[in-house]
Amino acid sequence: MTLPSNPTIDLMHNHVSVRSFSGEPVSDEMVEAVVEAARRSPTSSNWQTYSVIVIRDAERKRRLAQLAGGQDHVAESQVFLAFAADIRRLSQAGSLHGETPAGGLNQAMVSIVDATIVGQSAQIAAESFGLGAVMVGGLRRDPQGVADELGLPEGVFVVFGMSIGWPAGDPLAPGLKPRLPAELVVHHEQYSDDDADELIERYDEELKAFYERRGRNLADAAWSAPVATRSAVRSYTDLAPFLLKQGFTLD
Ligand SMILES: Cc1cc2nc3c(=O)[nH]c(=O)nc-3n(C[C@H](O)[C@H](O)[C@H](O)COP(=O)(O)O)c2cc1C
């Protein structure tokens, strides 16, 4: 079956994360075009509980690269965007009308979803110009360090960042990283994962072949083994206490 397509669908099918940049400048106009397009994203109840921090300063990018666990592409990016959940916006609205936000898990989630949607839109907008980008969730490993670096007030925390630049070489040359089979992640009418083991094993083989083609000799570089090992350990354990300190309530 041939699926219908158009330039937007083609762009989305050609998504790859880019971590290697040519160093050519990215104009302020182009960054603004990306951010302005992203700001058209849908937002829960029109609350717009997010902020985007645009970072150009080389020293700051270098420090953020360290805070993200030593991710060199952050320092090498032409521009780095930080997408923050921002419930301070609710306090700002409240103070105009003598109200205080009640907080709670849903308000925290609204802001995280808002920031995430804007971030994904920015990635698509950047890719539509031929720019390369990669999201950087690694910033959540040291949320206080990131907050200090970016001067974040109470009610604001960085959900993830994004390294952006012109790709060094053709980002599609290594091929597209295969995704889990649709049968596993797309359900019709009701959830069903009867064939999960078989589908995951099939994907393990596919992903292993992909990594081998790229010259990565990783014996168990398939999907399920590293996911199993890594998800067996709690990560970014500073995050929950930091969020509480920042005024996010999670109950
Ligand atoms: C929220 C989020 C955070 C991510 N954080 C990182 C990161 O810190 N470092 C990194 O190199 N890639 C990061 N990625 C990129 C993923 O590794 C990448 O999207 C995934 O491996 C699929 O590869 P592809 O995007 O090239 O298809 C992140 C992606 C998402 C959605």
In a domain, 238, yes or no: no
Report pLDDT for 1.
86
In a domain, 245, yes or no: no
In the block, tokens 């923050």 appear at 84
pLDDT tens per residue, range 85-130: 999 999 999 999 999 999 999 999 999 999 999 999 999 999 999 9
For a mutational test of ligand 1's pocket, the pick from 12, 118, 120, 135, i.e. the residue with the most ligand atoms closer than 8 A to its C-beta, is 135
The answer as to whether 107 is a domain residue is: yes
Same domain for 136 and 210? no
Is the same domain home to 124 and 186? Answer: no
**Do 142 and 188 share a domain, yes or no?**
no
Taking residue 247's Cβ as centre, other Cβ atoms within 10 Å add up to 17
Residues 80 and 167 in one domain: yes
Contact between 157 and 85 (Cβ < 8 Å)? yes
Residue 189: give the domain boundaries: 182-227
Say if 237 falls within a structural domain. no
Confidence of residue 215 (pLDDT cuts 50, 70, 90): confident
Q: What is the pLDDT of residue 219?
A: 59
In a domain, 251, yes or no: no
Mutation pick for ligand 1 pocket among 120, 136, 218 (CB with most ligand atoms within 8 Å): 136
Assess whether pLDDT exceeds 70 at residue 7. yes
**Is the C-beta atom of 226 inside 6 A of ligand 1?**
no
Judged against a pLDDT cut of 90, whether residue 174 lies above it is answered with no
Separation of 232 CA from ligand 1 center, angstroms? 19
Ligand 1 midpoint to CA 83 (Å): 14
Could you tell me if 95 and 217 lie in one domain? no
Which CATH number do you get for residue 40? 3.40.109.10
Q: What is the structure's pLDDT at 202? A: 97
Q: Are residues 144 and 186 in the same domain?
A: no
Residue % of the chain over a pLDDT of 90: 94
Number of Cα atoms under 13 Å in the Cβ half of residue 237? 2
State how many domains the chain has.
2
The reply to whether 86 and 196 lie within a common domain is no
Whether residue 186 sits in one domain with residue 148: no
Nearest CA to ligand 1 atom 28: 135
DSSP H stretches of helix in the chain: 7-13, 28-38, 58-67, 72-76, 88-95, 105-128, 143-150, 182-185, 196-213, 224-231, 239-245
The residue whose CA has the least distance to atom 9 of ligand 1 is: 136
Query: Which residue intervals of 39-189 are DSSP H helices?
Result: 58-67, 72-76, 88-95, 105-128, 143-150, 182-185
Residues 165 and 59 occupy one common structural domain? yes
Cβ(207) – ligand 1 distance below 6 Å? no
In this structure, are 31 and 74 located in the same domain?
yes
Mean per-residue pLDDT of the chain? 96
* Domain identity same for 43 and 166: yes
Instruction: Say if 248 falls within a structural domain.
Output: no
What is the Å distance from ligand 1's center to 108 Cα?
23
Q: Is the pLDDT at 31 greater than 70, yes or no? A: yes
Asked if 173 contacts 164 with a C-beta cutoff of 8 angstroms, the reply is: no
Cα–ligand 1 centroid distance for 135 (angstroms): 5
Whether 137 is in a domain gets the answer yes
Residue 169 and residue 102 in one domain? yes
Please state the atom number of ligand 1 nearest to the C-alpha of residue 177.
27
Contacts of 29-33 with CB under 8 Å at 24 or more apart are 30/129, 30/131, 31/79, 31/164, 33/125, 33/129
Q: Is residue 76 part of a domain?
A: yes
Residue 3: band (very low, low, confident or very high) from pLDDT cuts 50, 70, 90: very high
* Residue-level pLDDT at 221: 73
